[in-house]
Structure 1
Amino acid sequence: MAAAGPTLLLESRDAQERREWRRSKAAEFEAQVDALPYVDKEYEDPAVRAEVNRLVQEEMRRSTRTPADILAELPPVPELRTELVPMFARECERVRAGRPPTLAVDTGRYESAGKAPGGRGAEDPNAWKGAVKAAMVHLQHQDARHENLDLMLRFGPNAWRVHNQHLEAFLAKAQMEVVERKREIELLNRDRRLNQQAAAVELGRLEQAWKDGVQKNADIQTACWQLEAEIAGLKTEAEALGIITDDSMQQD
């Protein structure tokens, strides 16, 4: 079995649920009639466009759907799993309970490091103990900074190069996916255009046959009216000449 490539993005369960929702909606509207933009040219007529917009607005006014109905058709909201991050879970619980936010990091001990107690504190042993403790914390913090800087100088460049390589690989994969999606879209649009143009011939033939049938029915109706008028005139003339009588006309 071929080895799988590096996974750059992890697909969550919520993404899978949204994909399943889109698939179910696609199956639900599978029989929906598609538009024929490469065949139907009537919408380019401003009068037709205005009539279509009017009908759409009228349908929207008569619609009984509420915002809740529309929201019910949307994919489910992703589940917020606060248990994965305890700190975030505690903060959400604090906000939900309406408790005030906790104090931020106290930076006073860093700011006062190295400063001797003044005033009354100069004679207070506890104040000196606090100053010594703050100085020790500040010293330890500076030692940690020096150690981090040393590690960064030793390993930072290579780590940054590796990080850049990962970003370049991710960018290359994303660009390839964009190119592939654009190619699929282009092929799909081309197939739609070719299929619609091929169907346009049959649609044109059927439309012309319908127009011919309508025109033929209109011609037949006109001819029938003319014959009825001619028959009525002949009957009137025959009655005037006495060729037919009212009794014979009633029998007919």
Structure 2
Amino acid sequence: MAAAQALIQAELPPEHATTLHSSIPAMRESSFSDLIEAEHARIGSGAIKEPGTGIDLSRYEALDAPERGDTDAWRSTLQQAYTSAEYLRGREANLGLLETYGKNAWLIGNSQLEDELRSLERDVEAAKLELEAIEQARRAAQSNVAGEMHGLEETWRSGVGRMIEAQAAGERLRQEILERRRQGAV
């Protein structure tokens, strides 16, 4: 393994770790916003940052221990410490990978992540189009049967109306029969 690694290293030009891969485009000229330019000028002049401006760096400072017995404060402080530790662990791993494999591998990894993101965005767009097609088909199906549903509803209403009329007529007839029996019994 060591011999193979030595042969590979011998074949590589000495500047391979510091030069970009030929498929990676040249770096664009940086253009910063006026706010960033003003901050660069402030840093360059050595001026002190005004309190309350810029990024709050207090989240990166060591946390103070809360008072004894304050369980909620301890829980909050512990949660912040876990979050900070996880961020630093990930940052350390990424910097280690960058140091081990060089910036080209990092840039290629970013490119692969961008390709994956584009693929996922295409999938989301396809799912949206499919959802719109299904929605249009549903609306078309509903509009196609709207007349039939309206006709069925009218038939149902008229049937219910006739049933109520028949029940009312039956009740009147029953009342007449009862009335005649009473008159005949007397």
Both proteins in one fold, TM over 0.5: no
TM normalised by structure 1 equals 0.31
Larger RCO (CA under 8 A, 6+ residues apart): 2
